[in-house]
Structure 1
Amino acid sequence: MKNKPARWNNALAEVPDAREVRKRALIMAAGRVFGTKGFHNTTLDDIAQALSVTKPALYRYVENKHEILFECHRMAVAMAEEAMAQAQQTATAPLARLREFVALYIRKMTSELGTCVVLTEYYSMTPEHTEAIQRRRRVLDSELRALVQQAMDEGQIAPCDPKLAVFFFMGAINNINRWFTEDGPLAGEQIAQAFADHAIACLAPVRKPGRKPGSEPC
């Protein structure tokens, strides 16, 4: 006899905080369904089916799918904030901190968010949710720009516009979940290291004959 799918994807009641664990399981499952069907084509019935629970059971944790979308973005921002805090503590040089941030953030995204691709559905959130996420993203963006500026000031990278530099590598990072799959050819750790290398390589000055170090464009 074929086993039935585990309810709540094995987010069991025995854990210390079952509500938070189950809500997280809901968010993760919903993100995967959104990725398959698209946010606007997904219903709460689809999400309930993915978790092997009833639709009314979902209302104990969220009011609607817009709240789920907000929670997906909130989780992603929290991961980025945690990655930045860790990077600031584990590395001293600004360029090393940038590389550590990129690797840590991608590692968290691919291991915890997995195939949750709704980060590309940014403008499907409600205005209130969008503003709440934007506030936190602006803080993170300022910290990243400051690291790029410090790296320039210390001669580690060529002169460039910190705003555009951050837009460049963060845009690439935030699109990973559009194509990443947990059973794909590359593991999250491999992607994290490769993207960290690429991000730093794009910022590092290219020394050409006849040019002084640091004089090349970004």
Structure 2
Amino acid sequence: MKKSAPSPRTAPTAAPARWNNALAATPDPHALRKRALILAAGRVFGDKGFHNTTLDDIASALSVTKPALYRYVQNKHEILYECHRMAVELAEEALEQARQLHADAPLQALRSFVALYIRKMTSELGTCVMLTEYYSMTAEHNERIQQRRRVIDRSLRDMVAQAVERGDIAPCDPKFAVFFIMGAINNINRWFSDQGPAAGPDIAETFADFALQSLKPTA
């Protein structure tokens, strides 16, 4: 009897990448997976709102099970805290680099901080719009973040005050100057998109120029 030809096999459908391709073959897979969790959660928070987002939503975004998330975080409030902690770390890194680049030029150090921070924020945090969501954090988490932000704020005010003393800019209130600049930066995550027409480095340079232009130069 003639054997029938085997039926052609259909190619298997590719499964979603678990943990957004944060693979285990890394020096610290736990840290990498936790970072992938935080970034994915930040995007889901932005789409659905913090209070409307569940851990199931976050697990689905990562193509993992909800119990898998508990190896890294206890609840979504901890995730929100981690979003803010990552943002503060990026700001601290940018501030330190700006100081090293322009130790004797406070105004240029300020510009470098703005450019470096935006570059880091847009490349690593992407559309994590929850960075302005302070009131949903626990009181303890909020205080931890605010303590570190106050240190950054004082350093930036010192830069503005030093620029005034050197005659690089006209006298102004350093507090309001920093509020103005940081307010513009912190709002970027509300509208920035990796797929948008403007790339992060371009936005960084543009905002850095705006920051300097907002400080009235001396005659």
Consecutive unaligned residues in structure 2, runs of 5 or more = 1-11
The alignment status of 1:96 with 2:121, answered yes or no, reads no
Q: Which of 63, 82, 85 is 2:93 aligned to?
A: 82
For 1:24, the equivalent position in structure 2 comes to: 35
* Matched AA of 1:93: A
User: TM-score, structure 2 length as denominator?
Assistant: 0.93
Q: Hey, which bits of structure 1, 4+ residues long, moved more than 4 A?
A: none
Equivalent pairs, count: 207
Instruction: Give the 3-state SS of the residue equivalent to 1:118 in structure 2.
Output: helix
User: TM-score, structure 1 length as denominator?
Assistant: 0.93
Per-residue deviation, 1:122 = 1.3
For 2:58, the equivalent position in structure 1 comes to: 47
CA shift digits 1:97-153 (9 cap, x unpaired): 000000000000000000111011111100000000000000000000000000000
RMSD: 0.8
The alignment status of 1:200 with 2:212, answered yes or no, reads yes
The alignment status of 1:14 with 2:25, answered yes or no, reads yes
The alignment status of 1:149 with 2:165, answered yes or no, reads no
The alignment status of 1:69 with 2:93, answered yes or no, reads no
Instruction: Give the 3-state SS of the residue equivalent to 2:135 in structure 1.
Output: helix
Consecutive unaligned residues in structure 1, runs of 5 or more = 208-212, 214-218
Give the % identical residues.
72
Question: In 2, distance between residues paired with 1:106 and 1:123?
Answer: 23
Question: In 2, distance between residues paired with 1:156 and 1:2?
Answer: 61
Q: Which of 134, 141, 145 is 1:122 aligned to?
A: 134
Question: In 2, distance between residues paired with 1:126 and 1:197?
Answer: 36
